[in-house]
Amino acid sequence: MFLLRTNDRGESFSPNSYNKTSNNTPHSHTHTHTHTTSYPPEDPSMISAAVILLGLTASSSGFTVNQLSKCRTTSVATCRKMSADSFDSSALRVMVNGMPGPMASAAAEACLRKGLSLSPIAMTGPDVEPSSITVYDSVTDTSANVRLIPATEEGCEEIVSSLAGLREADGRNNICVIDYTHPSAVNSNAVFYADNNLPFVMGTTGGDRDQLMKDMESRAAFAVIAPNMGKQIVAMQAGLEDLANKFPSAFAGYKLEVVESHQKKKADTSGTAKAVIGSLKKLSDDCFDVEKDIKMLRDDESSLAFGVPKDAINGHAFHTYTFTSPDGSVQFELKHNVSGRTVYAEGTADAIKFLMSKVHEGGDGKVYTMIDVLRAGALE
């Protein structure tokens, strides 16, 4: 049995498709300001003006995000000439898209915790009112102001202009993205990032994954795409895949059962469960259907009965995979239970640092996985 649990509490949010007339507003913990920072625009032809539909809405959950844009003494020329040998992750500007969603907010806090700077702008859903929020990391006592810009046609113009200015101020190779948006926005967001030369880490699950990989490979995009960003879970997945390749059909005849519980507002089947099942199916000859046979728990009563702590009901990932022999006399059970979001958020921040080191090395873009990050020793 593999058991992983963290103690922090998470909150959840609920996307409501793409209704642009929602009355949802951020929680009172979100601070709205009228201050807007403008940047010198660069050639707009370098950036697509396509509207990005992020399937997000405001939620009732509170969140904080980090520090005001710092004054930089490093010249643009120095930033642009930065090589792999002189790569300094503190020079990066990370645009965390998906706030005020709790996973995006946790990732933003983790970036601060690991010495990264947040972009002063970020994309949010078309139903969210423009606002400035403060991301705050209590561990390092650091904070940053971030302006959330809804992904409407008008908002897209502001995003394009601000992005151009960021590149001018901080260096073209220092701007990157973390995406924790919504399954319905996965493919369009990834194409937008690739077309605009924005390296990105995507922890959002769902979408058409085959098309996603084709789109990124055809565009030679720099990206880390993975269904799970937790270091220990990634290691477990790598170990299972190795076991499956070395001992295929070791569990031939055994029946596979999978139960996964997440907060009730999670929109899709766990991407981690699908990945783990892929390895487990190689170990057996069970005709398990990932679209039909996974038992998904999305209500509080069922999740509590499954063992989820009450204080983690709004942010958890509890998975149990069971192999049972044909006569029922032998049973193998694999578990990984996570309360909260810290383990994923910190892995995401590590993935950004890994990815941007690859960007600064030069060469063609590539889609990496979290196993690549783990193998490089980049998960702290």
CA-to-CA distance for 150 and 148, rounded, in angstroms?
A: 7
3-state helix, strand, coil in the chain (%, to 5): 35, 20, 45
Q: Phi and psi (nearest 5°) for 94? A: -105, 115
Using DSSP's 3-state secondary structure scheme, residue 213 falls into helix
CB atoms within 10 A of CB 130: 15
- Secondary structure letter of residue 96 according to DSSP: E
Q: Which strand ranges, in their side-by-side order, compose the sheet holding 131-137?
A: 121-124, 142-150, 131-137
Structure tokens at 286: 């069970």
In contact, 56 and 181? CB cutoff 8 Å? yes
Tokens 């965390």 -> residue: 96
One-letter amino acid identity for 134? T
Catalytic one among 114, 182, 231, 266?
A: 266
Taking alpha carbons only, the member of 159, 128, 148 closest to residue 21 is: 128
In contact, 378 and 347? CB cutoff 8 Å? no
CA-to-CA distance for 99 and 63, rounded, in angstroms?
A: 9
Taking alpha carbons only, the member of 244, 256, 274, 259 closest to residue 337 is: 259
Structure tokens at 315: 């942010």
One-letter amino acid identity for 245? N
- 262 noted as active-site residue: yes
Catalytic one among 114, 182, 231, 262?
A: 262
Q: List helix spans (H) across 44-101.
A: 76-81
- 29 noted as active-site residue: no
Using DSSP's 3-state secondary structure scheme, residue 379 falls into coil
Instruction: Determine the length of the chain.
Output: 380
CB atoms within 10 A of CB 23: 8
Cβ burial 167-205 (10 Å sphere, 16+ → b, else e)? bebbbebbbbbbbbbbbbbbbbbbbbbbebbbbbbbbbb
**Cis status, amide bond into 126, omega within 30 of 0:** no
- Which residues are marked as active site? 262, 266
